[in-house]
Structure 1
Amino acid sequence: MAEIVLPTKPLAVNPLKASQPIGASLAFLGLAEAMPLEHGARGCTSFNKLFFMRHFNEPIALQTTAMDQTTTVLGADDAVVEALATICETNRPRVIGLVTTGLSEMQGADVPRTITAFRKRRPDFAHVAVVPVSASDTLGCLESGFAAAVTAMVETLVPRADLAGRRAGQVNVLASAMLSPGDLDEVRNWIEAFGLRPIILPDLAGSLDGHLIEEGYSTLTYGGTSRADIATMGESVATLVVGPSLDKAADALKARTGVPDRRFASLTGLEAADAFTLALADISGRDVPAGIERQRARLTDAMVDCQFQFGGARVAVAADADLLAALTGFFHAMGARVAAVSSTRAGHLSSLPVETVVVGDLADLEWLAREQQVDMIVTNSHGAEIAARTGATLLRAGFPIYDSYGAHADSAIGYGGTRRLVFKAADLLVAHYQEIAPYRSRYRSAPPARAVGGRS
C-alpha cells in the first residue's frame, strides 16, 4: 500500500495539472457534430483552445459565453440562452456541451434552469441536445473534468431501457482521458479482431486523429461518437470501462441500461493487456486470434531484450491519477524504481507499487528527481526544463505535449503499444547512460608514461 502525501504548500509553484473545464471540453470533442460551450470569461476559453491546438495541431470547435464584469455581477442567464441560440442557428450542432468554469461556479449559475429557459424560448431547437457539466477550475483536474462530462453524456443522451444484449456483438467502451486518439484506434482494432463492434464514448480517435474531411473545414467536431450510436448503448452485450476515473459514469450507464460491465485500471503492460484480451474472448465466445497471439509474443521478446536497461533504473512519473497508475505499474513491472507525483488525490493511488505518492506539482517532481537522482522523468512537455536542469532524460506523456509531432497519434496500450513504449523508454535510457562520464577514483595513480617506440 502506497502512502499518499498531501501538499503542504499554499499554492502551486510549477503547475502540473490542467483545469476541469479543459477536460470536460475535451470529452465533448469526441462526439460527432458537437460544440463545447464554456460558460465563463473569454480569456479562459481562449487559453483552453490554445492548449488543444498546440497538443493536437488541429482546428478546435470551442465557444464561450464571454462573461464580463456586468454579467458576472448582475447574472449571465440571458447570455447563456443567447449563446445556445446563436450556436444552434449558426453551426447547427447535434450536441452542445455546456461547461461551467470557476467564474460561473463562483457566481452561482443555475445551469439546469437556464437550459429550461432556453427550451421554452426556442422550441425550434428541441432537436439539439444540451449536456450540462459542472466543472469548476478550483477543483479536480483535466481527468476529473473529462469524467464528469462522460457521466453527463450518459445521463443526458443514453435513454433508460431494459434491452441489454439485444444487439449481439455490440460492446460499449467508456474511455478515460488517459487514452490518446492513437490509443483509441488500438482499442477499436483490438475489439474488432474478436468480431465485436465497439461504441467508444467519447471517441477522440474519430475526431482528433489528424484527418482531412471532404468539406475542407467544419465549425463543429470532425467526427466522433454519433448521437444515434449513443442511443443504442443500452442494447449492447457488455460495457468495457477503461480507467478508474470513469467508475461514476460506468455506474450511471449500468443503472440506466442494465448492461453488465467489466472495468480495467489500465491497458498498458503485459498483465493489463492479457486481462483485456481474455475479457474480449469471453464476451465474443471466440479464441484469441493468431495475430494478437503474435503481438503478445513480440512484446514478451521486447521485454527480454530491454530488461537490462530498465532493471534498477530510477524513474519519476508525474501525471493525472489514471495515467500515473498505468505508467507506474508498467515501469515497476519492468524492474525500475519509481517515484510518483499525482496532480490530484484519487482512491486507487494507494494501491500503486511504490512507497509514497506525492499529490503535488512539477516542483515536487523536480525535488524528487534531484533527491533520488532519477535517470528518467515521465510527464508532459512542461517537464522539459526540469529534465534539462536535473540531467535526467524525458519521456513525454500526458497533456499537453506541444514540442513533439504526432504524440497524440501514438499508442502505449495493448501488446503493440506497450512494445513501442518499451523500445522508446529503453532508447532514452541507453542515451542517458552513455552521457554519464565514467567514474575515476582520485586514489588511483596515473599509469606510467610510455616512451616513443614503446620503450619505457
Structure 2
Amino acid sequence: MSHIQRFPSAAKAALTNPLKMSQPLGAALAYLGVDRCLPLFHGSQGCTAFGLVLLVRHFREAIPLQTTAMDQVSTILGGYDNLEQAIRTIVERNKPAMIGVATTGVTETKGEDMGGQYTLFRQRNPDMAGTALVFANTPDFAGGFEDGFAAAVTAMVERLVEPSPVRIPTQVNVLAGSHLSPGDVEELRDIIEGFGLSPIMLPDLSLSMSGRQPTDFTATSLGGVTVEQIRAMGASAATIVVGEHMRVAGNALELKTDVPSHFFSRLTGLEATDKLVRLLMELSGKPAPARLRRQREALVDAMLDGHFFYSRKRIAVALEPDLLYAVTGFLTDMGAEVVAAVSPTQSPVLERLKAATIMVGDHSDVETLARDADLIVSNSHGRQGAARIGVPLHRMGLPMFDRLGAGLRVQVGYRGTRELLCDIGNLFLAREMDHEDHDEAGESHGCGGGSCGCNAV
C-alpha cells in the first residue's frame, strides 16, 4: 500500500540538494507565455537574479525579467514608490502590452497590499491605461513553483478575461499547466487544430520559449498569447484545464464567463489521451483525424514492444506534483514499480499517486530511497546523487541545463507518450546490453565472467 511520508521541520535541519523552486519563478514563467509581456518581481535584486539564471540555463534563451529593487529602507517603510517607478520606467522605455507583477518573500513578509497598490497606481497614472497590469501574490516562503504559476494564470483570468454573451463554437480555451513544456503546448495545439477547433492557450510558451531569432532586440517576451486573445476567452465554447494546480484558474474562468471547464489530471498515456480525443470529438462533431489514429496505433505497438523492459523495474521519481503524477501514472501503466515518489511541495494530487513511498522532500531523500532502484527520473539537479549511488538518471522537468532542447521535449498525446516510452525504455535496454556484453567478454576469456580476478571485464 502507498503511504505519504512527510518529514517534520525538526527532523531535517537543512535541504542539501533542494528539489523545490519558488512561487515567483513559476509566476514569471506563466507571464512569459503572454506576447509582449515583461514580468516584474516586486522584491530585491537577488530574488530576480537567481530566477533569471535558472530560466536562461534551461531554455537557453534571453529571458526578460525586471525587479523593483527593494532595499532595507523601502522594505520597512513600504515598496509602493519602487513599484510605481519600476512600472513607469518599463512602460516609457519598452512599451509592453502587459506587465506581470509577482511578489517575493520581501514584500509578502512586509505585508504589501497588492490590490490596493494596483488601484492606487491606476488612479495616479491614468495615462498608462493602455498597458495591461496583472498583480499576483506569490510568497516564496510558501508553496512552490506550480502554486506561483497557477496564481499568475488565475490573476490574468480575473483581471483580463471579459464575459461574452456570444459563443464561438470552434473556439476552445486551454489552461496549460506549468508541467507542460513549450513542445507539449505545441503538440496540444496541433491535436486540437486537427479537429477544426481554434485553441487559445494560456499561457502559450510554445510561441515565446521554443526558440526564435528576432531581427531586433526586444526587452519583452517574443510571442505568446496576446492580451486581446485572453480578453476573448469568455466567448469560447469550452475550457480544457491541464493539471490539478490549474483547477483554481479553471474554476475562476468558469465562474466569470460560464464557459464549461473540462479537467485533465494528465495527458501522458494511452487512456489519458483517449479521454482528450473523445472530448474533442464531442466539441467539434468530427471524427478523430487519420494522423491521430496512426499515432495511436504506433503507441500501442510501442507499448507491446517496450513492456518487457519496463516490467518489474524499480523507479524513483522526483518532480513537481502534477508532472510527478503524470510520470508515475505512465510508469505504472507500463508495469514498472515506482519505489519512491518525491514532491517538493504538498498537493492534493499526491493522494492519487501509486508508489511504495510518497513524500515531500528533496534530492537527498531521493538518493536515500533509490539505492536499489533501476532508474531515477528527475531534473538536472538530481545528477550528482544519481552518480553517487550508481543509478541512471532520466532528466525531466525544470531545470534541465545539461541537455539541449529541454523546452522542446514532447511527452503528451500519443506521439509524446511514445517518445517518452522509447527514451526511458532505451535506458533499460542499454543497461541490459551492457550486462550481456560483460558476460560475453568473460566467457570468451574462459574465466566464467571474470571470476578469476582478471581485467577481462
Instruction: Name the TM-score, length of structure 1 as normaliser.
Output: 0.93
Q: Distance in 2 between matches of 1:119 and 1:2?
A: 51
Q: Secondary structure of 2:169's match?
A: coil
**Residues 275-354 of structure 1: matches in 2 within 5 Å?**
275-338=275-338, 339-354=340-355
Partner of 1:365: 366
Partner of 2:33: 30
Amino acid at match of 2:397: G
Question: Is 2:199 aligned against 1:198?
Answer: yes
Deviation at 1:434, TM superposition (A): 3.8
Question: Is 2:99 aligned against 1:96?
Answer: yes
Q: Distance in 2 between matches of 1:253 and 1:2?
A: 34
Partner of 1:424: 423
Q: Secondary structure of 1:354's match?
A: coil
Q: Distance in 2 between matches of 1:355 and 1:369?
A: 12
**Residues 243-282 of structure 1: matches in 2 within 5 Å?**
243-282=243-282
Q: Secondary structure of 1:132's match?
A: strand
**Residues 64-213 of structure 1: matches in 2 within 5 Å?**
64-163=67-166, 166-213=167-214
Amino acid at match of 2:208: S
Contact in 2 for aligned 1:393/1:429 (Cα 8 Å) = no
Change (3 A) 1:446 1:64: closer
Deviation at 1:232, TM superposition (A): 1.0
Contact in 1 for aligned 2:317/2:324 (Cα 8 Å) = yes
**Alignment deviations for residues 34-73 of structure 1 (CA, whole Å, 9 cap, x no partner):** 0100001101101111111000000111100011111112
Contact in 2 for aligned 1:392/1:432 (Cα 8 Å) = no
Gaps in structure 2 of 5+ consecutive residues: 441-445, 449-457
Contact in 1 for aligned 2:146/2:320 (Cα 8 Å) = yes
Contact in 1 for aligned 2:163/2:235 (Cα 8 Å) = no
Deviation at 1:404, TM superposition (A): 0.1
**Alignment deviations for residues 153-186 of structure 1 (CA, whole Å, 9 cap, x no partner):** 10001023443xx212000000000000000010
**Alignment deviations for residues 293-345 of structure 1 (CA, whole Å, 9 cap, x no partner):** 00000001111111111011111000111000000000000010102111111
Q: Distance in 2 between matches of 1:405 and 1:120?
A: 47
Amino acid at match of 1:115: Y
Contact in 1 for aligned 2:22/2:145 (Cα 8 Å) = yes
Q: Distance in 1 between matches of 2:89 and 2:425?
A: 52
- Root-mean-square deviation (CA), in Å? 1.6
Q: Distance in 2 between matches of 1:332 and 1:423?
A: 15
Deviation at 1:277, TM superposition (A): 0.8
Q: Distance in 1 between matches of 2:64 and 2:303?
A: 41
Deviation at 1:13, TM superposition (A): 2.6
How many residue pairs get aligned? The number is 437
Q: Secondary structure of 1:238's match?
A: strand
Instruction: Name the TM-score, length of structure 2 as normaliser.
Output: 0.93
Deviation at 1:284, TM superposition (A): 0.5
Deviation at 1:438, TM superposition (A): 5.8
Partner of 1:17: 20
Deviation at 1:348, TM superposition (A): 1.9
- Percent identity over paired residues: 46
Is the deviation greater in 2-11 or in 204-213? 2-11
Q: Distance in 2 between matches of 1:272 and 1:358?
A: 25
Contact in 2 for aligned 1:265/1:326 (Cα 8 Å) = yes
**Alignment deviations for residues 244-292 of structure 1 (CA, whole Å, 9 cap, x no partner):** 1111000000000001111100110111111111111111110111110
Q: Secondary structure of 2:174's match?
A: strand
Question: Is 2:396 aligned against 1:397?
Answer: yes
Amino acid at match of 1:197: S
Gaps in structure 1 of 5+ consecutive residues: 440-444, 448-456
